[in-house]
Structure 1
Amino acid sequence: MAVIATLALAPRYARAEDDTETLPPVVVTAPMQTSPLTVVTNPKAPRQPVPASDGADFLKSIPGFSSIRKGGSNGDPVLRGMAGSRLNLLIDGGQIGGGCPSRMDPPTAYISPQLFDRVTVIKGPQTVLYGPGNSAGTVLFEREFTRYTAPAASFEGSLLGGSWGRNDQMADLRAGNPTGYLGISANHTHAQDYEDGDGRRVHSSYDRWNADATLGWTPDDDTRLELTAGKGDGKAAYAFSGMDGAQFLRESAGLKFERRHLSTVFDKLEAQVYYNYADHVMDNYTLRKPDPTGMMPMAMASDVDRRTVGGRLAGTFVWGDALQLTTGLDGSSNVHTARNGGPPGSPMGYYRDLPRARDARIRTIGAFGEMRWSFAERQRLISGVRVDRAQVRGYGLALPGGSSMGHMGMSPAATTVDAGRSSTLPAGFLRYERDLATSPMTLYAGIGHVERYPDYWELFGQHASKTLSAFSSLRPEKTTQLDVGLQYNDRRLKAWVSAYAGVVNDFILLHYGSGMMASSHATNVDARIAGGEAGLAYSLSDHWKTDATLAYAWGANRTEHRALPQMPPLEARFGLNYESGHWTAGALWRIAAAQKRVAVGEGNIIGQDLGPSRGFAVFSLNAAYRIDRRITLSAGIDNLFDKTYAEHINAATVGLVGYVNTVRINEPGRTGWLKLDLKY
C-alpha cells in the first residue's frame, strides 16, 4: 500500500534485460513523504479511492490535501487549507490556467494523472525553481523519457470499470533508438451521475479525453531536444452551479532542450518554451434543462478562454560533492477573453458567432537561484532567492457609480475604464537538514517567505468586485512560514512528521454576497496559519504491513478576530495490508473530525464556509493480483458501509429538480471498481 507508493518510478527504458522479478501487487492509499517536505508518487499505480479522473481527484489521496467537490469531477485541490494560485501547479514544466470566473475549470481539470510518470509535491515556500507565489506548495506533473541504448518499444495501458457507469481507458506507447524516441499517450474517462449513501442522485456525470505526443532527439548521452503536442476535451455536470461545463478544450505544445556535462563545473543547461490554451464553455442546456423558475430561465451560454505562453532557462553548476547551484529565468504571459449568448437561434445570438471580449492580461517574469551546500558530513543547507515582476491589465473595470456583471463579462461602456498595475515580488527560503549518525533519521528546519500577486479570480472573478478601486487596492499576499520535521527510514519502519507555522500579511479573503455578485468582494486581512502532517508504515511480519497518516490545518483571521475560512478538519487514515506471493489485500479506514471553526460567508476563490460540519468515518477494501510481471488486476470497494456524508470544505448545492439538494454536495455511496493494468 502506501509504503510502496513510489514503485516503478525509475526510467522505464533503463531497466536491465534480465529483470524478471515479479513485484508484489499494490494499491496506493496514502503516499508517504519521501524526503523533507517532498512527496513523490507514481500516478499510474492502482489507487484507493477509485483511481482518479483528474488532477484534484488524484492529489486528495496525499496527506495534507483536500478537494472541493463540485460534481463528479473537476474539483479544486486544497493543500493545508490553502487553495487557488497559492498552490503552484506545473504540467511538464508549463503553466495552464482555467477560464471560468467561478472556477468550473481549475488547472487540474485539464490533467489526466495516468498520462504522467511522476507527481512531485513540495510543501510550503521551500523552493524557488518553479515560478512565483507557491505559498502553500508546488505540484509537478512530469513525464520521463530516457535515451534508448538500443532499438526498443514498450506499451503501458489500463482499463477501469466501476459503479455509476464509470469506465476508463488509457494507453501509453513509446519507442525509440539511440538517436531519438517517440511517445503517444491517450485516455478517456466517463461516469454517470452517482448516488449518495441514501440512494439520492447527485448531478455529477462527466466525460473527457486527452491525447499527447512526444518526439525526442538524443544524438548522445548528454543532449536531448524534445517536442510535445497535445489536445483534450470533455464535459461535466455540476451540482454547485446554475451551469454545467459543456466544453473543456485544451491545446498544448512545448519545446525543451537539455545539455549535460558542459564542463567540470557547468553540469546542465535547460531551456523550455510552452503554449497552453484552454477554451471552456458553460451552459444550462447541454447537460440539463433551463429552469423556468430559476435565475436563468432561458438557454444561455458563456465561452471563456485563456491563452498562456511561457518559458524557462536554467543552468546547474556543481563544485564536487559539496555545492550545487541552479539559477535562471522564467516567465509567462496569458490573456483571458469571454463571449456570451445562447444556442443557435437564441435571441441573444449563437455564442460561437459572437466576438470575444478581452477582460484581463497577466504577465510575470522572474529570476531565481537555488543552492544545496553539504558543508559537513551528514549536514547540508538548501537555500534559494527569487524576484518576480508581475504586471496585470484589466479591461472594462467599473468606475464609481457604474456596475459590472462579472461572470457574464458585461459592463456599461460609459462607466468603465481599462487600467494596469504592477509589483515586484521577492521570495526566498533557507532550510537546514541533518542525518543522524546513530539512527536512520533526518531532521530539518526551514523558513521561507513568498509574495503572491492577486490572481485572475481575485481581481476579475465571479466573486470579485471588478471595479477600478478594488483592482487598484487589493495588495499582494505575503507569507512567512517556518517548517520543521523529521524522516525515519529503516527496514521495517518508515515514519515522518512535518509541522508548520506561518504569518500571512495581506491575506486575500473573499467575502461572499447573498444575492447576485454585487456584494461579493475581496479584501486584505492579516492571518496566522499552523498545522502539519505525519505518517508511518510498519512491517508487522513478512506478510502483514500497516500504515497510518494524520493531517491538520489551522488558521486565524487576526484582523476580524475569527477563524480563517476553508480549513479542513483533523483527518486520519489507517491502512492494513496482507501480502502473499502474487496477491495483496488491504483495508483503509479514513476518519475526519467535526469542524466547528468556521467563518460563514467568507472563503476563497473556490468556495465559502457553509457552517459547522459533522465528522465521519469511511471504511474501504481493496485487493490486487499480479498475474505476471506484465499484468495486474486490482479491485476495490469504497465506502463499504454506504455511509451518507459530505466533506467540510465543499461547494453549496443549487436547486435542481430530480436531484438531492443538501447544504453541501454529498460524497458517493458504496462504489465498486475493477482495474486491469498492462505493461509490455
Structure 2
Amino acid sequence: MPASYFCPAPFLKLSCTSLTTTSFALFIALPAAAGLDPQGATTSLTEVVVTAVHDQSPTQVVADLRQPRQPIPASDAADYLKTIPGFSAIRSGGSNSDPVFRGQFGSRLPLLTNGTYLLGACGGRMDAPSSYISPQTFDQLTVIKGPQSVIWGPGASAGVVRFDRLPPSFTRPEARFSGSMLSATHGRNDQTATLEAGNTMVYLRGTANHSQSGDYYDGNGQRIPSAWNKWNADIALGFTPDTHTLIELSAGAGDGQARYAGRGMDGSQFRRNSFGLRFEKQQIRPWLSKLEATLYANQVNHVMDNYSLRPFPANGGMKMPMAGNVRRTTSGARMAATMDPTENWQLVTGVDIQRSPLEWRGGTPTSPYQERAWTPDAKLSNLGWFSEVNWQAAPRTRWVSGVRLDHSQAWRYDTPSNGHRSRSPLLSGFLRWEHQLASDNVVYAGLGHVQRFPDYWELIAPGNSALEKGNAFMALQPEKTTQLDVGARWKGDDWQLWVSGYLGVVQDYILFDYTAKSSAVRNVNAATTGFELGGQYRMGASWNAQATLAGTWANNRTDGRPLPQTPPAELRLGLNYAEGPWSAGALWRLVSAQHRVAAGQGNKVGKDFSASRGFGVVSLHAGYRLNQKLKLLLGVDNLFNKAYAEHLNLAGNAGFGFPGGTRINEPGRTVWLRAAIEL
C-alpha cells in the first residue's frame, strides 16, 4: 500500500511534504511582493475567512467558494456544505462524506456542477456525488432551500445545491492567475490553481487542484484510518462573439483514493471524466431575454477493495481479498427560454433529459477485475418539462410559482428478475409570496410539492429487498413531499438578521431497515419540521460578530417513532477582526445531544445505532496580507483537542479494530497554514 497514505508523525507535527508545499508558495509569491507597501497598496486579494454562511435572498444561500473557510478548507463538497446552517454530513473517515440537509439525503438533495449531474456508482455510496466535487475549483455555491424551484431537475424535495464556474470577462487581452497552497497536521497538503487568459472574443480557463492527507489522530490520540489523495483538472474554452452571446466547451478529469474507518472496503479509484457544451444568447427580442442550452456527459469509474490501502483483515467481515469496479455514465441536456412579456412578468420554461446506465465487474488479487468484462447492472432515465413564473404584483410584492412534469424510468439487469419500471407523470410545483417591508427587509411564504421517483440506491443497489411486497424494484412507490417554507430577513446599518422555517409531510417516504448483515427498504409516512436562523453585528470598524442556529425534528408516522438519521441542533458563534493587513477570528461550534433515534433504521449509507452526546469545539485563525498579491492565514481547529464524534456517523469497521456500534471520532487539534496568491 502507498506509504504516503499513512502519516507517521504525531498529530501536532507537520509533514515535510506540507512544509515544502508552503515554502514553494512563498518562494513564488515573495519576489512579486518585493517593494510593495502592504499598508498603502490597493488590494485585489480580498480574502475573508468564512466561519458561517448566511442567507442572501428568500429561500437561497449564495457563497463565494474562492474565500477560505474555517474549519480547515474543505476536501469535498459535503465538507464545505457543513458551514451552512441546516447542513450536516454522514461521516465515515477523513474525506468523501455524504451531505444531509434538514435531515434529508441522497437524491432528495441533488448536487449540480455547472448545471449538470454527476452521479456516483457505488451501491453503498462510497463515491457519493459530493466526493467528486472540490469546492475550491468553483466560483459560486447556490443552495435553494426546500421545494421552491422546478428548473434544476427532478425530485429536489430537500433543496438544490449548485456549484458553478462563472465565465471570465475580459475588456482587453489579458492573463490572470490565482492559487493557494495549504499545509496542515496529519500530513495534509493542498494546492489549487486557476489560470485565465482571453480577450473580448475568446477565453481559456484552466483549473486544477490536488488534496492529500494521512490518517488523522482524534482527541484521545487514537489513529483513525482516513487518508486520502485526490486531484482534479478542468479546462473551458469560451467564445463571446458579442456581449450577449456565449459558447463554451469544457472538459475535465480527476482521480483519487481514500481509506475509510467506517467501511469494510476502501476506495482505490475515483476516476472522473466530464465533457460539456454550453450556449447562451441574451437580449434577443424585447419579449425574449434569454435562450440557453447545455449538453453534457459525466462518467465515473470507481474501484473499491479491501487489500490495497489496508492489510487484509481476517476479522473484517469478508472471507477473502476482493475488489469491485463500477462505472456510471450520466449524460443529458437542458434547454430553457426566459421570456418577459411585460415589465411585471417573467417566464422561464424548458425541458431537461437525463440518461444514466451502470455496469460492474469484480475480481481478486489473483484474478484482477481489469481482465474481466463489464456486466450491465441498471439504467435510469428521466425526461422533464418545467415552467416557472415570476410576477411583480406590486412595487413591494412578488409572486413566484412553478410546475414540473417528469417521466422517469428504471431498468435492472443484475438478477434473473430483470425488469423495467416507469412512472409518468410525476408532478412537482410550488407557489411563493415575497413582500418587501422596507429597504432590504423581506418576508416570504411558499408551499411546494415534489414527487420523487426512487433512485438507484433505493431501487436496485445490492442488499435491498422490500419487506412486504417482494423486491424493492417493483414494490417501492415514488416519494411525495408537501412542504411549507416561511422566512424573513431584516437589515440595519450595522446588523442583519434572518430566519427560515419549514413544515413538511411526506407520503411514501423511503426508509431502510437494517438487520445484522443486510438492509431492506419500504415506504412509510413521515413529518418534518425545523428552522435556521442567523445574524451578524458590526462592532465598530474592525470587529464583526456572527451567529447561526439550526434544528430539525422528524417523525415516522407509520411506525410511531423518530425518523432516523436526523441531525441534532447546532449553534455557531463567530467573532472576526480585520484592520489594515491584519485579520483574525474565532469560531465556537456547539452541537446538542441527540436522543431521538430509531435504532436499526436509516438510509442507504448510515443507520441509527444509539443516542449521541453533545460537544463544543473552538477554532481560531489569524491572517496577514503582505500586499495586493499575497496573503497568509494560520489556523487552529479543535483548539482544545476535544475527543468527539458527529451523530451522523458510520459505525467503525472491525477490520480496523473498532467494536461494532463505535462512532468514528473527528480529528483532534489541527494546525494549518494557507498561502493565497493572485497575479
Assess, with a 3 A threshold, how the Cα gap between structure 1 residues 661 and 46 changes in structure 2: closer, same or farther. Answer: farther
Query: What residue in structure 1 maps to residue 186 of structure 2?
Result: 164
Structure 1 residues 173-200: Cα deviation after superposition (integer angstroms, max 9, x where no partner): 0000111100111100000000110000
Q: Distance in 1 between matches of 2:441 and 2:240?
A: 39
**Matched ranges for 1:11-26 at <5 A:** 20-21=42-43, 25-26=47-48
2:59 maps to 1:41? no
Contact 1:290 1:297 in 2 (8 A): no
Matching residue within 244, 255, 264 for 2:266 = 244
Q: Distance in 2 between matches of 1:657 and 1:605?
A: 22
Structure 1 residues 577-634: Cα deviation after superposition (integer angstroms, max 9, x where no partner): 1222111111110001110000000011221011111100111111122222221211
SS in 1 for 2:222: coil
Contact 2:568 2:593 in 1 (8 A): yes
Contact 1:332 1:363 in 2 (8 A): yes
Query: What residue in structure 2 maps to residue 200 of structure 1?
Result: 222
Query: What residue in structure 2 maps to residue 631 of structure 1?
Result: 630
| Aligned sequence identity (%) | 50
Query: What residue in structure 1 maps to residue 617 of structure 2?
Result: 618
Q: Aligned partner of 2:512: which letter?
A: L
Query: What residue in structure 2 maps to residue 604 of structure 1?
Result: 603
2:446 maps to 1:451? no
Q: Distance in 2 between matches of 1:165 and 1:553?
A: 36
Q: Aligned partner of 1:495: which letter?
A: L
Deviation, 1:356, is 1.2
Q: Distance in 1 between matches of 2:44 and 2:100?
A: 37
Q: Aligned partner of 1:644: which letter?
A: A
Q: Distance in 1 between matches of 2:607 and 2:454?
A: 18
Structure 1 residues 456-490: Cα deviation after superposition (integer angstroms, max 9, x where no partner): 00012244128963211100000000000101123
Query: What residue in structure 2 maps to residue 511 of structure 1?
Result: 513
Structure 1 residues 523-557: Cα deviation after superposition (integer angstroms, max 9, x where no partner): 00000000010000101221221000000011000
Q: Distance in 1 between matches of 2:123 and 2:71?
A: 30
Deviation, 1:25, is 4.4
Q: Distance in 2 between matches of 1:522 and 1:83?
A: 15
Q: Distance in 1 between matches of 2:656 and 2:476?
A: 39
Structure 1 residues 70-127: Cα deviation after superposition (integer angstroms, max 9, x where no partner): 1110000000000110001111111011011111000011111111010100110000
Deviation, 1:420, is 3.3
Q: Distance in 1 between matches of 2:512 and 2:542?
A: 50
CA RMSD after TM alignment: 1.5
Q: Distance in 2 between matches of 1:528 and 1:658?
A: 38
Q: Aligned partner of 1:604: which letter?
A: N
SS in 1 for 2:78: helix
2:206 maps to 1:184? yes
Deviation, 1:318, is 1.5
SS in 1 for 2:291: strand
**Matched ranges for 1:57-76 at <5 A:** 57-76=79-98
Q: Distance in 2 between matches of 1:396 and 1:251?
A: 25
Structure 1 residues 409-465: Cα deviation after superposition (integer angstroms, max 9, x where no partner): xxxxxx54333333421100111111113x541000000000111000001224412
Matching residue within 334, 342, 351 for 2:356 = 334
Query: What residue in structure 2 maps to residue 498 of structure 1?
Result: 500
Query: What residue in structure 2 maps to residue 89 of structure 1?
Result: 111
Matching residue within 259, 269, 277 for 1:255 = 277
Moved more, 424-433 or 650-659: 650-659
Q: Distance in 2 between matches of 1:661 and 1:26?
A: 42
Query: What residue in structure 1 maps to residue 32 of structure 2?
Result: none
2:649 maps to 1:647? no
SS in 1 for 2:652: coil
Contact 1:512 1:601 in 2 (8 A): yes
SS in 2 for 1:396: coil
Query: What residue in structure 2 maps to residue 479 of structure 1?
Result: 481
Query: What residue in structure 2 maps to residue 425 of structure 1?
Result: 426
Query: What residue in structure 1 maps to residue 663 of structure 2?
Result: 664
SS in 2 for 1:327: strand
Q: Aligned partner of 2:434: which letter?
A: E
Q: Which residues of structure 1 form unaligned runs of 5+?
A: 1-18, 398-414
Assess, with a 3 A threshold, how the Cα gap between structure 1 residues 64 and 200 changes in structure 2: closer, same or farther. Answer: same
SS in 2 for 1:315: strand
Contact 1:396 1:418 in 2 (8 A): no
TM-score, structure 1 normalization:
0.92
Structure 1 residues 206-252: Cα deviation after superposition (integer angstroms, max 9, x where no partner): 00000000001111111111000000000000111111000000000
Query: What residue in structure 2 maps to residue 7 of structure 1?
Result: none
Contact 1:610 1:663 in 2 (8 A): no
Query: What residue in structure 1 maps to residue 236 of structure 2?
Result: 214
Assess, with a 3 A threshold, how the Cα gap between structure 1 residues 268 and 25 changes in structure 2: closer, same or farther. Answer: closer
Q: Which residues of structure 2 form unaligned runs of 5+?
A: 1-40
Q: Distance in 1 between matches of 2:594 and 2:287?
A: 53
2:546 maps to 1:528? no
Structure 1 residues 265-312: Cα deviation after superposition (integer angstroms, max 9, x where no partner): 100000110000000000011100111233224221000010111010
Q: Aligned partner of 1:431: which letter?
A: R
Query: What residue in structure 2 maps to residue 573 of structure 1?
Result: 572
Deviation, 1:502, is 0.4
Query: What residue in structure 2 maps to residue 9 of structure 1?
Result: none
Q: Aligned residue pairs: how many?
A: 637
TM-score, structure 2 normalization:
0.92
Deviation, 1:146, is 3.8
Assess, with a 3 A threshold, how the Cα gap between structure 1 residues 660 and 605 changes in structure 2: closer, same or farther. Answer: closer
Contact 2:125 2:605 in 1 (8 A): yes
Q: Distance in 1 between matches of 2:57 and 2:267?
A: 38
Query: What residue in structure 2 maps to residue 412 of structure 1?
Result: none
SS in 2 for 1:363: strand
Q: Distance in 1 between matches of 2:173 and 2:658?
A: 55
2:382 maps to 1:364? yes
Deviation, 1:661, is 7.5
